[in-house]
Chains A and B, each alone.
Chain A
């Protein structure tokens, strides 16, 4: 498998981990149990959001990876542009993931009566924070 495909799959995995972690946290902490948990899990808004956000992220990264592939094929002609693009990749990722993790819980909780209570909603929202600190920041650091 070539590097581009591998990286593409890694981005896809990076889009799958935060919702999994967040849903696990909802269940594990007991904030959403039983029917509420199933409603969140089956929330169509969340599914649509996941599909759109993941597709957008994948498309965006695919275009960037294609550009990197083009620069590599050009040899030393575009080294500066290539270096600039590579240096921007973690920022694209961290911003995309941050937005994804910010709006993701909202989409999951939208329409669920249990989370119409502000405190529940707020707790549900901040449960995405460990995802950012445990997954996204190390990714950023290691990449740079």
Chain B
């Protein structure tokens, strides 16, 4: 019967225990086994005596004692077998678990208890197996993670060194750019100053040209007035010429009349001659005046024409100068914007410089952190290598040897807990 139980347990080992279908505890097993065996012995001996006395009330004492002894030995033998089996059922799994725990303490994770028992010990063994399996998985993952961490931190370290170098190059480029920008800024400022001067000069020129144009208009008006005056003088001259002609005629008439008057008219004839001479001189003077006025009029007209032409030239010059002024204004505002843009660029370059400096500092910190990480990964790998997950795994290095000195086993093959820990 015991063999049946053991065989069934071994056979159904792959089927996990289930909480819905509970089993007896070890304590109950021991109690029921011992109680049942004791009760069986008691009943066996009691029944033997009852039946023997019932069958033969005059049975001899020696016969009764002998049969009782035989029955006792048979019952005790069966009880002994029962007790041995129940003891072994508890002792063997515990010894096996202890042995496995000892192996586990030495870092061997490729162990499996795999007890077939369907009681608390079996459950404990299965939980322990599961825990070791999970722990072995964890250690495997930790090993591979530490290797990955190591290689990754190496890459980070070399990458950060490259980055640091590039950042330094970038910083020097930024410094050069900053110097160039400062030069450009000073040149643009000079240009702005020159442009301002030119604009001022242009404004001044425009104002002067405008003043000149006003003066020119005044001259034109004055010339027109002179022209008008010449025309009036010509009219007056014509009147004087007419008066001279009339006076000449009157002087002729007076001379004729004086001739008629004879001696008495001689004096009058002299006066008439004088008047006629005066008239002649007036006429001559008027003719000269007329000629002068004509010349003046011609000269004025000629001057007017020239002034008009000059006025056109001045106007064109004014327009061109205005265009130049507008262009200069635009240039001025453009240079002003350029100055602002250059200031912004300078600020941006300054910020970039600061950022690059910060990046350089950060990269150095990162490189240091990567080196620390690499060292930590190495240490982790060394610590994890204490556990032997798989026989094909390498790196079972000296760490385990250093950490676990061989322990003297107890007679049961177990290492004392205090020593193992």
A residues neighboring B (CB under 8 Å): 3-4, 6-7, 10-11, 13-14, 17, 25, 28-31, 68, 71-72, 75, 79-80, 82-84, 86-87, 89, 119, 123, 126-127, 129-130, 132-144
Contacts and interface: CB of A to CB of B under 8 A. Distances in A.
A138 B36 contact: yes
Interface string B15-37: 11110111110001100110011
17 contacts: A10-B7, A13-B1, A29-B47, A29-B52, A72-B11, A72-B14, A79-B16, A82-B12, A84-B21, A127-B47, A129-B43, A134-B37, A134-B44, A134-B75, A138-B82, A139-B2, A144-B119
Contacts, number: 149
Interface size class of B (residues with CB under 8 A): 35 or more
Contacts of B1: 10, 13-14, 17, 135-136, 138-139, 142
Query: B11, B15, B23, B75 — which one has the most chain A CB atoms within 10 A of its CB?
Result: B15
A28 B55 CA distance: 12
B114 interface: no
A3 B11 contact: yes
B56 A130 contact: no
Nearest to B28: A141
4 closest A-B pairs by CB: A133-B40, A10-B4, A134-B40, A3-B11
Contacts of A89: 8
Given A29-B48, A68-B11, A133 B118 contact: no
Nearest to B8: A7
A14 B16 CA distance: 27
Given A28-B71, A133-B40, 10 more contacts: A4-B11, A25-B44, A72-B11, A83-B17, A86-B15, A87-B22, A132-B40, A135-B78, A138-B85, A139-B4
A123 B54 contact: yes
Given A83-B15, A86-B118, A144 B43 contact: no
Given A72-B11, A86-B118, A142-B2, A30 B55 contact: yes
Nearest to B23: A144
Give the dominant DSSP class at B's interface.
helix
B324 interface: no
Give the dominant DSSP class at A's interface.
helix
B23 A30 contact: no
A30 B21 CA distance: 45
B167 to A, nearest CB: 57
Contact of A3 (B10, B24, B37, B51): B10
Query: B2, B12, B29 — which one has the most chain A CB atoms within 10 A of its CB?
Result: B12
Contacts of A4: 11
A123 B51 contact: yes
Query: B5, B14, B79 — which one has the most chain A CB atoms within 10 A of its CB?
Result: B5
Contacts of A28: 48, 67, 70-71
Contacts of B151: none
Contact of A143 (B8, B41, B52, B56): B8
Contacts of B356: none
Contacts of A133: 36-37, 39-40, 43
B50 interface: yes
A91 to B, nearest CB: 11
B5 A134 contact: no
A139 B85 CA distance: 10
B40 A30 contact: no
Contact of B15 (A72, A129, A139): A72
A141 B51 contact: no
B40 to A, nearest CB: 3
Contacts of A119: 54
Contacts of A10: 1, 3-4, 7
B23 A87 contact: yes
A31 B55 CA distance: 6
Given A133-B36, A142-B85, A79 B15 contact: yes
B36 A137 contact: yes
A71 B15 contact: yes
Contacts of B17: 83
Given A10-B1, A86-B15, A133-B36, A30 B51 contact: yes
Given A14-B1, A134-B44, A142 B18 contact: no
A62 B43 CA distance: 33
Contacts of A83: 15-18, 20-21
B86 interface: yes
A138 B20 CA distance: 23
